[in-house]
Amino acid sequence: MHTNSHDIVTFYHQHVTAGSFAISDAADSRSITGDALGSLIVGAANRLRVAGLGPGDRVLFMDGQGLSAFVHFWATVLLGGVFVPVDTSWPLARIASTCLRLCPTVAVVPAAVLAGFQTRLPDLPLLSANELASGQSTFVPADMPADAAAAFLLTSGSTGEPKIVVHGRDALLRSARLAVETFDWRGGERLLNLPEPHTMSGLRNAMLAAPMAGMSWVSAAVEQRSNLFALCDLLATHRIQRLVAAPMLLRQINLQGARLNPSTLASLKAVYCTGADLHIEEVDRFHARYGIPVINYYGLTETVGLCLSQRIESWQPGDRSLGWPVGCRVRLMAADGQEAKPGVSGELQIEMPLPMQRYLEDPVATAQRFDGQWLRTGDLAYRDGDDRITLTGRASAFINTVHTEKIYPGEIESALEQLPGVAQAAVFGLPDAAGGERIAALIVPLSDASPEDLAPQRLALGVREILGPSRVPVAFRCVADLPRSSNGKLLRHALAAIFEHAH
């Protein structure tokens, strides 16, 4: 699937307001297409223009995935502005401090928080995300260069303070094209895209890839998307064919076992997950019960979200890899500065035509991210004999034991989650007196877990039997939940503080 032009306005006319693309509302089963959708976008653009938005200006958007996000993204882009979606789970104080870095011209927020925004940010023009009205079709889009900024995305903050990533209009279009071709998405298929619009998968898949493919994007309220039983009912009722979700969803479905009828997921052709939290044991259990492939793909916000992916036509259970490069070149650099040999881990670096432009107002961090034309991901991986890339961990997340061994938390987490009574696990390093780190683990118990299941000796023995003695945590704490970003990514920098206060 190719567009006739790299220009995003041409794309809008060819794919958003024409063709077979539709937004289907899960609540009332109505679909919005063509002129009706375009009229809502023009109406939002008129409101933004009255609020002061012009070319290059920024729109702070704080609302969940849905029609309002789609409409305001396209209204902003057509005006030549920059769409800046933020995490709806953030407290207002954090959003206010982020506004000092972003300097938005206008903010679009849910009606329920308008008063709080007005108190905290009295000088910022505000619009309600809940108010959508049709506008006149005589609207003329701004004439902008292809590489003009279209979106600022904040990194997940899973390893610290979020950075603001600048993406051009051309980069977003290219990423969407890669997604459609790599994922084999086709016209008329029904897509449920669970990531929120402040993530690259949420922004690209819903706003650009779905229209490019001519899909029917099913928009559901957060209450439906965040509740497993409501979500399963949504999948069955709307006969969803393509599902994009966080890895944790597989775990939740697998825990239901025989209580979830396989017919609920019968329409699904594939599930697409991204991230190091995708454990092969969960993938294989899910596939064995439902027969649905789980496509693992990889990309940072800085790589415009997609640079490695498995392929549905060659997918096999038991594949731990991230698949093959997508529209990019890959190299794996060892600690000695040489390229790592096949089977040997090195830092994953990406060379691609249109990565991020920069970190906003942070030239030092931008320079550190690149080695010439190569973008340094900070992730460690190896290449197998079939040129597939397998992630082994994140350089900054490794646990350094006193014996100088580097241990990847993910393998221990996966082992713990195979044990009776364990719903989720998070593993990290605690500093010790010898200058190394001790392995510690936070455990979220299953609802029917027994005290015996959660006994430290039982947990330690289970890990020892799976991974051997060098990977056994020396301390365990049980908690009600783990800290995650809204797209399901584990916030590793917060684990030590939670461990200190847990019992």
Tens digit of each residue's pLDDT (9 = 90 or more) over 443-501: 999 999 999 999 999 999 999 998 888 889 999 999 999 998 766 778 888 898 999 88
Closest CA to 421 of 344, 476, 362, 493: 476
Beta strands in 155-208 (DSSP E): 164-168, 190-193
**242-244 sheet: strands from edge to edge:** 31-33, 22-25, 216-219, 190-193, 242-244, 270-274, 294-298, 308-309, 324-325
Strand partners, 191: 217, 242
Per-position DSSP letters for 372-388, written without gaps between them: TTEEEEEEEEEE-TTS-
Tens digit of each residue's pLDDT (9 = 90 or more) over 140-197: 899 999 999 999 999 865 555 789 999 999 999 999 999 999 999 999 999 999 999 9
Domain 398-501 has CATH 3.30.300.30: yes
Tell me the CA end-to-end span of the chain in Å, nearest whole number: 54
Tens digit of each residue's pLDDT (9 = 90 or more) over 275-328: 656 788 899 999 999 999 999 999 999 999 899 999 999 999 999 999 999 999
- In whole angstroms, what is the distance from residue 476 CA to residue 196 CA? 32
**Overall average pLDDT of the 384-407 stretch:** 75
Task: Kindly state the DSSP code that residue 290 receives in the 8-state scheme.
Answer: H
Structure tokens at 350: 């990406």
Tens digit of each residue's pLDDT (9 = 90 or more) over 194-230: 999 999 999 999 999 999 999 999 999 888 888 999 9
Tens digit of each residue's pLDDT (9 = 90 or more) over 348-362: 999 999 999 999 999
Question: How confident is residue 139, by pLDDT bands cut at 50, 70 and 90?
Answer: confident
Distances (CA, A) of 183 to 180, 272, 296, 352: 5, 8, 10, 19
Structure tokens at 367: 């320079």
In the three-class reduction of DSSP (H, G, I as helix; E, B as strand; rest coil), residue 501 is classed as helix
Q: Is the pLDDT of residue 405 over 60?
A: no
pTM: 0.84
Beta strands in 199-306 (DSSP E): 216-219, 242-244, 270-274, 294-298
What average pLDDT is seen over the chain?
A: 90
What local confidence, expressed as pLDDT, does residue 2 receive? 40
- In whole angstroms, what is the distance from residue 111 CA to residue 126 CA? 10
- In whole angstroms, what is the distance from residue 463 CA to residue 159 CA? 26
Contact 234, 245 (CB under 8 A): no
Angle (CA) 209-214-216 rounded to 5° is 90
Structure tokens at 129: 């995300």
- In whole angstroms, what is the distance from residue 209 CA to residue 203 CA? 9
